[in-house]
Structure 1
Amino acid sequence: MNLEAWIWPDGVLIAAVVLIAQILASIQIMRTKEEVRSAVSWLGLVWLAPIFGLLMYLLFGINRIQRRARLSREKRGLRPRSGELVDPGGPQIIDGMPDAPNRWRAHDRLSGRVSAQQLALGNKITPLEGGRQAYDAMIKAIDGAEHTVALTTYIFQADQAGRRFVAALARAKDRGVEVRVLVDAVGNLYGFKPVSNLLRRLNVPVTSFNPARFSWRLAFFNLRTHRKLLIIDGKLGFAGGMNIRKHHLERSDGTPRVRDTHFALEGPIVTQMMDAFADDWAFSSGEELPEEKWLPPITPIEGGNPARAIADGPDERRQKTAMIIESALASARKHVQIITPYFLPEQALIEALKQASLRGVQVDILVPEKSNLPMFGMAAMSGVRQLVQAGCNLYMSKPPFDHSKLMVVDKRWSLFGSSNWDARSLKLNFEFNVEIYDEAFNSQLRSWVSERFTSAKLMNLEALNKRPRYKRILGRILWLASPYL
């Protein structure tokens, strides 16, 4: 008889290994999780469903991407992101808006410390509505590039819209312009014809962000880059929420498939955009982009807008965009306007919205009446009742689907970019947003978005109660998975 087999039957050995793994996982959860609910949820899963829970925590609970980002920055000679709050110095809001109230001076201070990014003065920011206007402007800019073109996006399809960009990028490369294209590995597969293959055949340098393979990299497959940036010669930029695909173009009868908003940017803010791209490119390809070519000095535009770039992602412990939005809501005194395609915020943001409304601030939230993700739409509707009860105004926009991501507070501050109001954008994705402090610009933007509210349907409690019962029940069930939708 084998003595070891008698002492350690197979079942006991397996149970011992699982128990040790549960203890080690629990220690790691207690060390790294900062939110009680997250820690309790993972602990419960690990102990109540040991095999499944351990596998899920191994795949989705450990943020290995922080380590990859730290190593990438160290290779580039940059200081690792430690999570410490550091005042970035540089201009302050009073330099660009001398009459700024104290609450916005405080918000500027918080935003600078949280984002570790100084305020950029002297920028020209131009809204571009619709795919045709935005795409034409972007392709014209690529065709006018003299030195460099940097493009990153979530979805880049090789369709009638994407092929125009591919051709423009190839033309730029052929005339000697340095071109770099970064596409998210998941977004690259939309349409089942990866645009990266087409770009490589044309010798355009392209790489995928965070490709998932059957290896340790699968452990952070759900961490995507959702940023949409185009930077020309380090001096002209485009940012917002638009992907590159034909869905943003009109149908044959001239009606839009999707409504969306993008922005053209000039001034020092473009340097902050390029810095974010260079970080992502080095992280994904290992190539360092020389500053003298890709980050030229930019002279501020006289009378331009004060603005700040907010590059956010799961490689940092702090949820920068969420904190800045909460601070802006706390600074609001009269009116908040929010347009987002996906509205499923976590409780901290919900409380900030409720508090603003209860202080007497008019809070208007616009979401699509018909979501392109039906299950997400049902989950989102299950969480809005408490906001309506607190006095927030919930509007439902008629088709076409509105993919815009905009926020305007009073006439002092606005935010645009790639972030949705959900946990995936604010916790899991790499996002890029821009905040603007300028009364004239924000007044223009406010009147521009107000038209969308006037043509939308206001949802009160009675309308919420009239929703089909099965949708309300299914929505509450789906709401449980809201952090991953």
Structure 2
Amino acid sequence: MTASPTARAQRPRRSSRWVPGNHFELLENGEEFFPRVFDSIRNARSEVLLETFILFDDKIGQALHAALLEAAQRGVQVHVLVDGFGSPDLPPEFIASLVQAGVHFRVFDPGGRRLFGQRLNLLRRMHRKIVVVDGELAFIGGINYSADHVADFGPQAKQDWSVAVRGPIVAHMHRFARRAVLPRHEQKRQRRTPLPELPHAGSADALFVTRDNDLHTTDIERHYRIALRAARERVVIANAYFFPGWRLVRALRRAARRGVQVSLILQGEPDMPIVKTAASLLYDHLLRAGVRIYEYCERPLHGKVALVDGQWSTVGSSNLDPLSLSLNLEANVVIRDEAFNDLLYGRLQRLMQDSCKQVRPQPQGAFEGLRLLRGYCVYHLMRWFPTWAGWLPRHQPTISLVRPGAQ
């Protein structure tokens, strides 16, 4: 692997105003997501841009590999960016066959030192999951390219969502994805090129919102808080890794106290036990304000979706935890559309009714004071985590291009 010059974290201009005329198709789990993405790549005419945190050499990774290889062999420009921590063990022949066919394969922060066999480059990961085909069709969500996103994987198969996107917002996603993978001189040319005017594909207004460690450190969290402050009827959040900062917790509590039905769907059968332990530290604080908490117990929850009232929704890669809100590079779409909101609400309502256990407030007892003290300490720990997250190891990530013939 030959490293290209150090690439600074991208600082592209994002869509700061609602972009009208879009269509969003909700894709639940790998069964709906993978066939759509693979077919789109196979039908690509000129370009495929793909970013992912995880790409494994399993049946899903091999299916993606075949689609990318076929596209590149017939002259489609294919750019792939994977995270070096999330995708550490791809066989050399897996990558080499793509590169030799003309795929531009890049790794975000590759390698990394190890201590007692453990990788040390855990922080500030490229956690986005974006695909853009021909600048016209995009996919974004929380689904990685691994077999644990399809049901036949077994009890540990993940529950997740993504969306297929058409319409003018795709131009914003396309420009961002190109800047993430292109060399710096190409990025400068992109900045001088006006956005293409894509035809309207539906009735949804949309924002493309990202988080980085430079200019957009709190954008995704800010849109959550804006929506929670405006909520009047209902809020439903399904999020795999839930340990948000105090401002977001405060917004949830205030919404519930003014009569909004606030429901959280969190992990009941987590892929990492510490996830449930961390979230449960907040339960008492939230339940006392009237927030309803449901633990999804059918299999691990990996989703990152939310809705507010009858219009606002969001789907993307961002969890509501310190990694996603203060360290990782993330991307979400925010959608303003009644039909999409209603569809997502129906899916989440079914999940709560059929596959979740509602958490009930604990009765007061001998350890009531200890529980209150624990809640107070956790609350104020959250209040300061954006500050102390800035003290964690910070480095300039590199994006390395794999060149033909490189080992």
Question: Deviation at 1:412?
Answer: 1.6
Specify which of 431, 436, 461 is matched with residue 330 of structure 2: 431
Residue 121 of structure 1 pairs with residue 15 of structure 2: no
Residue 204 of structure 1 pairs with residue 98 of structure 2: no
SS where residue 171 of structure 1 aligns? helix
Deviations 1:297-351 (A, max 9, x none): 41112x4211110021112264111111111000000100000111101111111
Specify which of 209, 212, 222 is matched with residue 310 of structure 1: 209
Contact 1:332 1:410 in 2 (8 A): yes
Q: Which residue of 1 aligns with 2:171?
A: 271
Residue 186 of structure 1 pairs with residue 126 of structure 2: no
The 1:249/1:390 distance shift into structure 2, 3 A limit, reads: same
SS where residue 145 of structure 1 aligns? coil
Specify which of 156, 164, 170 is matched with residue 55 of structure 2: 156
The 1:315/1:279 distance shift into structure 2, 3 A limit, reads: farther
Contact 1:368 1:399 in 2 (8 A): no
Specify which of 32, 40, 64 is matched with residue 141 of structure 1: 40
Q: Which residue of 1 aligns with 2:8?
A: 68
- Which structure features the higher share of strand residues? 2
Distance in 2 separating the partners of 1:163 and 1:323: 38
Residue 288 of structure 1 pairs with residue 189 of structure 2: no
Contact 2:136 2:166 in 1 (8 A): yes
Greater relative contact order (Cα 8 A, min sep 6): structure 1 or 2?
2
Specify which of 261, 268, 282 is matched with residue 383 of structure 1: 282
Q: Which residue of 2 aligns with 1:175?
A: 74
Distance in 2 separating the partners of 1:166 and 1:277: 19
Q: Which residue of 2 aligns with 1:232?
A: 133
1:288 aligned partner, one-letter code: E
List aligned pairs for 1:408-419, cutoff 5 A. Answer: 408-419=307-318
Contact 1:158 1:193 in 2 (8 A): no
- Which structure features the higher share of helix residues? 1
2:173 aligned partner, one-letter code: M
Distance in 2 separating the partners of 1:136 and 1:165: 10
Contact 2:270 2:300 in 1 (8 A): yes
CA-based RMSD of the aligned residues comes to 3.5
List aligned pairs for 1:51-66, cutoff 5 A. Answer: none
SS where residue 123 of structure 1 aligns? strand
TM-score by length of 1: 0.69
Question: Deviation at 1:296?
Answer: 4.7
TM-score by length of 2: 0.81
1:238 aligned partner, one-letter code: F
Q: Which residue of 1 aligns with 2:359?
A: 459
Residue 261 of structure 1 pairs with residue 161 of structure 2: yes
SS where residue 81 of structure 2 aligns? strand
1:233 aligned partner, one-letter code: D
Contact 2:138 2:170 in 1 (8 A): yes
Identify the range of structure 1 (419-428 vs 438-447) with the bigger mean alpha-carbon deviation: 438-447
% identical aligned pairs: 31
The 1:287/1:138 distance shift into structure 2, 3 A limit, reads: farther
Q: Which residue of 1 aligns with 2:199?
A: 299
Specify which of 236, 244, 269 is matched with residue 370 of structure 1: 269
The 1:259/1:116 distance shift into structure 2, 3 A limit, reads: closer
1:68 aligned partner, one-letter code: R
Distance in 2 separating the partners of 1:311 and 1:335: 25
Contact 2:312 2:337 in 1 (8 A): yes
Gaps of 5+ in 2: 1-5, 114-118, 367-371, 393-407
**How many pairs are equivalent?**
369
The 1:135/1:391 distance shift into structure 2, 3 A limit, reads: same
Distance in 1 separating the partners of 2:277 and 2:364: 12
Question: Deviation at 1:279?
Answer: 2.4
1:227 aligned partner, one-letter code: R
Q: Which residue of 2 aligns with 1:47?
A: none
Deviations 1:56-77 (A, max 9, x none): xxxxxxxxx9x934xx66xxxx
1:199 aligned partner, one-letter code: L
Question: Deviation at 1:212?
Answer: 5.5
Distance in 2 separating the partners of 1:464 and 1:399: 30
Q: Based on CA coordinates, which of the two structures has the bigger radius of gyration?
A: 1
Gaps of 5+ in 1: 1-64, 82-114, 467-471
